[in-house]
Amino acid sequence: MTEGTFAVLALLVLAWAVTSDLLARLNITGPFVFAVAGYVLGNPDWGPLSVDVETPSIHRIAELTLALLLFSDAARVNFSRLKRDARLPGRLLGVGLPLSVVLGSLLAAWFYDDFTWALAGFVGAALAPTDAALSAQVINDRRIPMRLRRTLNVESGLNDGIVTPVVTFTLAVAAGQLGTANPYGGSNHGGGALLELAVGLIVGLAIGPASARLMTVGSRRHWMTTGAGLLGTLAAALSSFALAATLGGNGFIAAFVAGIAFRAAVDENVVDADHAVELPELLGEVLALAVWFLFGAALVPIAVHNFDLTLLAYAVLSLTVVRMVPVALSLLGTGLDRNTVLFVGWFGPRGLASVVFALLAVEQLGETPVVEHAVAVIALTVLLSVVLHGVTAGPFGSRYVHVEQAGDDPGTAPRSRRSAHH
């Protein structure tokens, strides 16, 4: 990334910060703004800015962004509080998510004969996780029952970390099947991928609890200055990712597990865990805007160049059938009415995790025609999601509230005046 590109990105972030609420009222999201800016300014065919998707620094920024958000999302989940209402997110993560991976993979294999089973599995897994940032208006709409908002929030916070092992494994196997060499040293076989996951798990289980206990001791004995806890949590997130990568492990798994372990081990009577995670979360959100710019500059052109009706059909089915059918099956027996099930099924936008996984595919599999098609499938699906979920978040949320209030349906939880939170 050149200095000019960095300067433009910084100015775009400033402009977004100043107008974010105004644009939100118009149902225009940050990912949409930065993706359009990336496509216009960084397009390889005409853009004035130079963005090379094969540059290692580009991949590192994307990977670091996902690691920070994985850590902060996992650390935000208060499992002791969630136990009281874990049934809905548990069903979505334990039943809906695996079904989405399988259905998306089978659909990719059916649509594209040249995909190996591992590449089809990668596409299905890469498009399974959801991103609540693309439907933030729904998550923050206090008219919608807290139970549903918490369900969508927890699902999006955990499903990208849960699906990462599948993405890693299928990428490694696909590299072997396609005979591609990873120039950045990643594993090209399933056994190596499993070892990476094991190392990441061990690092996360070591860094997460250790950092939580150190911060608890430091706070209890008044060793820490004001604001130092924010830096400590950021260091925990970065060190888990970096140490795992250094040891040949999976940094995403390390960051995700470290976030869960941090929250489980911290003494919340001494350390405010929700406040402590704000810095890694904020840094991750800022970097995410840069990744959306890179998405528009590097991945959207691939989708445009490979566009056809098959590509469009898969993207539409991915956002509807591949998401909604597993959600409906996972919520059977919960007592939720059809309107609520459809609402939860629709608001499963594909976002940042899918973008990073697509960049990983370019990094590890190269830019062969078959890989380009796989990346194009992911890019177009995410692009449609950015537009459709961003535009419909406000109107669909209002319509859902109106219908539920008119029907006075007993299948939903009482409405809460608190803001949505993990």
> Of 46, 48, 30, whose CA–CA distance to 293 is shortest?
30
Q: Which of 68-77, 78-87, 234-243 has the highest mean pLDDT?
A: 234-243
Distance (Å) of CA 172 to CA 125, 236, 318:
13, 28, 23
- Whether 31 maps to a domain, the answer reads no
Tell me the CATH number at 241.
1.20.1530.20
- Whether 29 maps to a domain, the answer reads no
Confirm if 75 and 158 have CB atoms less than 8 A apart.
Answer: no
Mean pLDDT computed over every residue of the chain: 89
376-389 pLDDT, tens digit each: 999 999 999 999 99
Band the pLDDT of 407: cuts 50, 70, 90.
low
3-state SS assignment for residue 193: helix
d(CA 11, CA 17) in angstroms, rounded, equals 10
How far is C-alpha 371 from the chain's CA centre?
A: 21
**Terminal Cα-to-Cα distance of the chain (whole angstroms):** 35
Backbone angles phi, psi at 258, to 5 degrees: -60, -40
117-155 pLDDT, tens digit each: 999 999 999 999 999 888 788 888 888 888 898 899 899
Count CA within 13 A, CB hemisphere, residue 77. 30
pLDDT value of residue 87: 87
Residue, of 420 and 27, whose pLDDT is higher: 27
d(CA 254, CA 119) in angstroms, rounded, equals 24
- Whether 292 maps to a domain, the answer reads yes
- Whether 14 maps to a domain, the answer reads no
pLDDT value of residue 174: 93
pLDDT value of residue 416: 33
Q: Considering its fold, how many domains does the chain have in total?
A: 1
d(CA 199, CA 253) in angstroms, rounded, equals 9
Region 48-70: what's the mean pLDDT? 85
Region 166-185: what's the mean pLDDT? 80
**What radius of gyration do the chain's Cα atoms show?**
21
Band the pLDDT of 421: cuts 50, 70, 90.
very low
pLDDT value of residue 109: 97
pLDDT value of residue 213: 94
What global pTM score does this model have?
Answer: 0.89
Tokens of 131: 């991103």
Work out the percent of the chain whose per-residue pLDDT is above 90: 65
Residue, of 96 and 179, whose pLDDT is higher: 96
- Whether 115 maps to a domain, the answer reads yes
- Whether 361 maps to a domain, the answer reads yes
179-211 pLDDT, tens digit each: 875 544 455 556 778 899 999 999 999 999 999
Backbone angles phi, psi at 347, to 5 degrees: -85, 65
Tokens of 28: 């225009």
Band the pLDDT of 77: cuts 50, 70, 90.
confident
Q: Which of 24-33, 51-60, 131-140, 308-317 has the highest mean pLDDT?
A: 308-317
Tokens of 116: 């190996």
**Host H or E run for residue 378:** helix 369-407
What residue numbers bound the domain in which 166 lies?
Answer: 54-407
Tokens of 318: 């991915």
- Whether 306 maps to a domain, the answer reads yes
pLDDT value of residue 94: 95
> What does the longest C-alpha to C-alpha distance in the chain come to?
64
pLDDT value of residue 181: 55
Give, to the nearest 10 degrees, the angle between helix 117-126 and helix 352-365. Answer: 150
On the question of pLDDT at 166 being above 90, the answer is: yes
pLDDT value of residue 295: 95
pLDDT value of residue 190: 62
**Host H or E run for residue 184:** none
- Whether 20 maps to a domain, the answer reads no
